Amino acid sequence: MKFLGFEISELDIVNNAEKLLAGIKAGQRFFVLTINSLIVYEIFQKPEYAKAVEKVNYVVPDGIGVIKAIQLFKKRQLQRVPGIELMLKLCEYAERDGLEVFLLGSKEDIVKQTAINLSKKFPLLKIVGTHHGFFTEDENDRIVSIINQTNAKLLFVAMGVPKQEIWISKNYDSLKPLLAMGVGGSFDVIANRIKRAPKWMQKAGLEWLYRIIKEPRKRLKIIPRLFKSVIYLVRYISSKERGDCS
């Protein structure tokens, strides 16, 4: 289904993961984007980010705002596909299929704890490498080389929006992993540094509210951007995308 210039997957988490893993085993490459309102804002506000996501070739609906917009303009009902849940399902299937995983991003202690906790959850998962996300431009080529030397098939990048997609796009042609996916703060959750919202809030699409309650100083700064993203979304659809949204 076409929306905002992207082909949005209408599959649920399980079937998205199955499709991606089947593609990887067939030698296909994927740059996965879990689209939400913040990403919409960054696309409209930052030409560098808009250019970066042009390389994206697999998009799932993460944010409730995007899903509501699709319901309104496309009259389609989509299941939300949270990035962290898709990541965990991909790890589950990677364990099953013997595919290697590399974790890039966050702080050193957090990415290492993420690897430990994933190994506890998926004992046979091949986590072939980790690296923190606080490296300089001069170190970039060395990091890409480290990733490639592990022969990882799946690369999860936790640098936050917009940095993670810009980094993946910039290095996509040099990276050997067949799947690269930005996962935002997922490492913090998996490493038990931050708790996810209760299930009822997840189902109600209120995870954003839970994050604001838990991290008010950090999250309140994002609210103006989220409101602006809604305005941009409506304007964009009205002026450019009527054909895709009718």
Residue range(s) defining the domain that contains residue 158: 2-245
The rounded mean pLDDT for the chain is: 88
Return the structure tokens found at 219. Answer: 């999250």
State the average pLDDT over residues 129-136. 97
Instruction: Give how many domains the chain has, as a whole number.
Output: 1
Query: Cα angle at 168 between 10 and 48, to 5 degrees?
Result: 95
For 196-220, give the secondary structure using H, E and C.
CCCHHHHHCCCHHHHHHHHCHHHHH
Sequential DSSP letters for 181-201: EE-TTHHHHHTTSSPPPPHHH
**51 C-beta neighbours (distance < 10 Å), count:** 12
Return the structure tokens found at 36. Answer: 């939400």
Residue 200 and residue 175 in contact, taking contact as beta carbons nearer than 8 Å: no
pLDDT tens for each residue of 19-56: 999 999 999 999 999 998 889 888 888 999 999 999 99
pLDDT tens for each residue of 186-235: 999 999 998 777 777 776 666 666 666 666 666 556 666 666 666 666 66
Q: Give the bridge partners for 180, in sequence order.
A: 31, 155
What is the model's pLDDT at position 211? 67
Task: Give residue for tokens 């079937």.
Answer: 15
pLDDT tens for each residue of 137-191: 999 999 999 999 999 999 999 999 999 999 999 999 999 999 999 999 999 999 9
Residue 192 makes CB contacts below 8 A (sequence gap 6+) with 113, 117
Return the structure tokens found at 237. Answer: 């659809």
Q: pTM of the prediction?
A: 0.89
Task: Give residue for tokens 């994002």.
Answer: 222
DSSP label at residue 178: S
Task: Give residue for tokens 């009259």.
Answer: 75
Q: How far apart are CA 192 and CA 60, in angstroms?
A: 25
